[in-house]
Amino acid sequence: GSKRTLVVGSGVLVETVRDEVRGASSSYGGRLLDGDDDGSGHDGDHGADVVLGTGAAFGDDARAAAGPEAKAALDEAMAVAGSAGDREPLGREGFVVARRAGVTVVVGGDGPGLLYGMFHLLRFPELLTGPGRPAERHEPAHDLRMLDHWDNVAVHPVMGQVERGYAGGSIFYDDGEVRADLSRGEQYARLLAATGINRVAINNVNVHAREARLLTEDLGEVARIAEVFRPWSIRVHLSVNFASPIVLGGLETSDPLDEKVQAWWADAAARVYRAVPDFGGFVVKADSEGQPGPFAYGRDHADGANLLARALAPHGGVVHWRAFVYNHRQDWRDRSTDRARAAYDHFAPLDGRFEDNVIVQVKHGPMDFQVREPVSPVLAAMPRTRLAVELQVTQEYTGQQKHVCYLGPYWSEILRFRPWGAGALGSAGIAVSDLARGGLAAVSNVGDDRFWTGHPLAQANLYAFGRLAWEPELDPSAVLDEWIGLTFPGADDAVRASVHEVMDGSWRTYENYTAPMGVGFMVRPGHHYGPDVDGYEYTAWGTYHFADRDGVGVDRTRATGTGFTGQYPAPWRDIYESLAQCPDELLLFFHHVPYGHVLHSGTTVIQHIYDTHFAGFEEVERMAERWETLKGRIPDDVFARVAERLDEQLGSAREWRDRLCTYFYRKSGVPDACGRTIY
Ligand code: GCU
């Protein structure tokens, strides 16, 4: 509406907020009051309707400019922003919103908080109208809320411009160079700030020769990218190659204990900070899937991570050291090696050895971003290490942005999971999110596609990641509604309800028609799209399901299997170990069972496979029908793009259903109790 908004404070981020208010006022009506005009924002007989400012900026002048009507809200907001009892004063990224006497006030802890407070008002416009409401104080649960881009500078012969990217090219690079025009990056930075993200790693964790040079000769280009993110309170990080001293520095070694290597990294870090004073730090994939690392020198991951941490420490940077380390040259004949065990076996013994500015970044599950995995036991095993949980927003294994798959509910389950159970004495209710003292990181799903994410509805995953990183206890279904409200402004309730309906259950739908009960993979090797039940069964990757004529699943018990269940604390080590107690949805992750095994649900494993696959396909049919009802009621281009992808999803779900059902029917010889067509 025609709000009169006063913005007080100074600095880059306050300027960003001023620009936003100015822009919104000229598009939607209203006015940015300039507190400097005559020392007063007063215009006729009333002051501001909305007052936005950093806590430190509310001196007498600012209060006078805000007008007398703002006093009540301002006093309340300032009180709630301050310390009281054991409450600390508001941090830099926090904000308070109060509304009294028809005036809405946002007080930011500092510039970042003000920026997030402004976006909060856009998300909940009801805070700008109506009666007074008690002040709300918002602060992020995690200081580090990071998106990792798997973007290559040069197009990679196999992986393309963006590894596991399903949304076109990179917004940063165009075949070999940083883009001259970064305007798309500017819009992206604004988009991310609106979700609460504050860190971005701008290149792929697999650092090839071209990308390695970002650290040296391209620093000017990195600085340009950092400039784009700075007004949105987002710091830039680089993925670096552990062998950089060799590859870039011409040394003979990258041994972390070698003094020349240490000096090379110290120098490299100093150069980065000269170019980008607010640089965030390094991301490292070492000794993983062919990337170089400390093992080559008989050193371990603490030696490797500490090398980089010491180089960054004088400048305030951090190292995100990934725990995704496993043997990808396994012999499928060897049943004693279990890839699920690898991250814990490598990292848990190193707890306590990492420098303070090392963050060990752990994939949420022990395998690799499957549609259903248990939470990684590493998260409960390293109390003296800063851990980050890594999620995958890009839908590598969850439909590649051709399928609707809203991942908010999955991430919420992961972040709320309690490794020591809900009420165990002495550890009552510690959740994964509490353990992630190094924050959350996720692989981005954004590219230069006109809808940003290929599938327009995949934007909701980007949004949900940012929101859950800020506040892990949020209800993912409510977060979905926020996104729908922001994405389809002005849509009526029926339209919103239909979009919600299409999306909210879509993760479980995807699970239904793909690999059953946590067994994972069964995808086409290489690109990972579409069904191939035995695609990885006899490969070196360690991702097996062991289906035979009698049964299916991986025995990871201590009693008879790989012992992986022993990596969990009680009660989960015993729940997962027990065939009787293991949750149905993870049964085949932990146990090898006969097809006739009866689940908690009362049905047999084989019948469950048939039922979920038929149901999953039918759910996609209903999604597509629902979507059709939106024709003409939402923008045509969005409607058409989603409709086209739902078509693909339907075909793919049919293929999954038929291949899975046929495969297991042929293996087991057990017919479907419902007599449906199995080929
Ligand atoms: C998956 C993915 C790779 C990626 C790897 C990683 O295996 O398929 O493309 O490099 O994860 O997380 O490092």
Query: 365 in helix, strand or coil?
Result: coil
257: domain CATH number is 3.20.20.80
Domain boundary among 430, 448, 475: 475
With a 6 Å cutoff on the Cβ, whether 504 touches ligand 1 is: no
Catalytic annotation present for 368: yes
Distance from the alpha carbon of residue 601 to the mean position of ligand 1, in angstroms: 34
Residue 656 belongs to some domain of the structure = yes
Kindly report the backbone phi and psi dihedral angles of residue 81, in degrees, each rounded to the nearest multiple of 5, phi listed first: -75, -20
For ligand 1, atom 7, the nearest C-alpha belongs to: 368
Can you tell me the mean pLDDT for 417-444? 87
What tokens appear for 549 in the block?
């004529």
Mean pLDDT for all residues in the chain? 96
Ligand 1 nearest atom to the CA of residue 285, by list position: 13
Q: Are residues 173 and 107 in the same domain?
A: no
* Residue 33 three-state SS: strand
CA distance 153 to 592: 44
658 is catalytic: no
Are 151 and 118 in a shared domain?
A: no
pLDDT the model gives residue 35: 55
CA 528 – CA 403 distance, rounded (Å): 13
Pocket residue to mutate for ligand 1, from 158, 166, 324, 398, most atoms within 8 A of Cβ:
324
Look at residue 45 and tell me whether its pLDDT is greater than 80: no
Question: Which of 138, 158, 173 marks a domain boundary?
Answer: 138
Regarding whether 60 and 118 lie in a shared domain, the answer is yes
CATH code (residue 12)? 3.30.379.10
CB-neighbour burial class of residue 290 (10 A; exposed 0-12, middle 13-18, buried 19+): exposed
> How far apart are the C-alpha atoms of 597 and 670, rounded to whole Å?
13
Above 90 in pLDDT, residue 28? no
Catalytic residue (one of 88, 289, 534, 628): 289
Strands, E, within 467-592: which ranges?
551-552
Give yes or no: residues 525 and 449 share one domain.
no
| Predicted local distance difference test score (pLDDT) of residue 428 | 67
Structural domain contains residue 486: no
Residue 639: CATH number of its domain: 3.90.1330.10
Residues 524 and 414 in one domain: no
In whole angstroms, what is the distance from residue 340 CA to residue 520 CA? Answer: 12
The C-alpha torsion from 376 through 380 and 382 to 388, rounded to 10°, is: 60
Average pLDDT over residues 113-124: 96
Residue located nearest, by CA, to atom 13 of ligand 1:
205
Could you give the CA distance from residue 342 to residue 274 in angstroms, rounded to a whole number? 38
Residues 300 and 408 in one domain: yes
**Pocket of ligand 1 contains residue 392 by CB under 6 Å:** no
Cα 564 to averaged position of ligand 1 atoms, centre (Å): 22
Q: How many domains does the chain have?
A: 3
608: nearest Cα among 511, 504, 492, 520: 511
574 is annotated as an active-site residue: no
- 214 pLDDT band, cuts 50/70/90, is very high
| Angle formed by the axes of helices 493-504 and 605-628, nearest 10° | 150
CA of 517 to the centre of ligand 1 (A): 22
Query: Is 584 domain-assigned?
Result: no
pLDDT of residue 37: 45
Lowest mean pLDDT among 27-41, 372-386, 654-668: 27-41
How many CB atoms lie under 10 A from the CB of residue 266? 16
Is the confidence at residue 36, as pLDDT, over 80? Answer: no
239 lines ligand 1 (CB under 6 A): no
Q: Is the per-residue pLDDT at 38 higher than 50?
A: no
The reply to whether ligand 1 has any atom less than 6 angstroms from the CB of 206 is yes
With residue 633 as reference, give the H or E element that holds it. none
Cα–Cα distance, 406 to 367 (Å, whole number):
20
List, for residues 470-505, the tens digit of each pLDDT value.
Answer: 999 999 999 999 999 999 998 999 999 999 999 999
The CA-atom distances, in angstroms, between 95 and each of 141, 277, 407, 609 are 13, 26, 28, 49
Mean pLDDT value of segment 13-21? 97
Do residue 542 and residue 635 come from a single domain? yes
- On whether both 188 and 154 belong to a single domain, the answer is yes
Q: What is the pLDDT of residue 422?
A: 82
pLDDT 10s digits, 575-626? 999 999 999 999 999 999 999 999 999 999 999 999 999 999 999 999 999 9
Band (423; pLDDT cuts 50, 70, 90): low
Work out the end-to-end distance of the chain between its first and last CA atoms, rounded to an integer number of angstroms.
60
Q: Which of 328, 368, 539 to mutate to test the pocket of ligand 1 (most atoms within 8 A of CB)?
A: 368
Does the beta carbon of 339 lie inside 6 Å of ligand 1? no
On whether both 151 and 84 belong to a single domain, the answer is no
Q: Among residues 138, 165, 183, which one ends one of the domains?
A: 138
Q: How many of the other CB atoms lie within 10 Å of CB of 327?
A: 13
Higher pLDDT, 27 or 359: 359
33 occurs within a structural domain: yes
Nearest to 389 by CA among 429, 345, 349, 419: 419
Within this chain, do residues 451 and 303 fall inside the same structural domain, yes or no?
yes
Residue 570 lies in a domain: no
Asked whether residue 89 falls in the same domain as residue 163, the answer is no
Pick from 206, 255, 192: nearest CA to 465: 192
400 lines ligand 1 (CB under 6 A): no
Domain containing 19 equals 4-138
Q: Is residue 364 part of a domain?
A: yes
Per-residue tokens: 8: 């007080």
- What are 261-281's pLDDT values in tens digits? 999 999 999 999 999 999 999
Tell me what the mean pLDDT of segment 282-300 comes to. Answer: 98
334: pLDDT strictly greater than 70: yes
Q: Are 217 and 87 part of one and the same domain?
A: no
Residue type, 658: D
Q: Read off the pLDDT of residues 524-577 as tens digits, 9 standing for 90 and up.
A: 999 999 999 999 999 999 999 999 999 999 999 999 999 999 999 999 999 999
In short, whether 163's Cβ falls inside 6 Å of ligand 1 is yes
In single-letter form, the type of residue at position 215 comes to: L
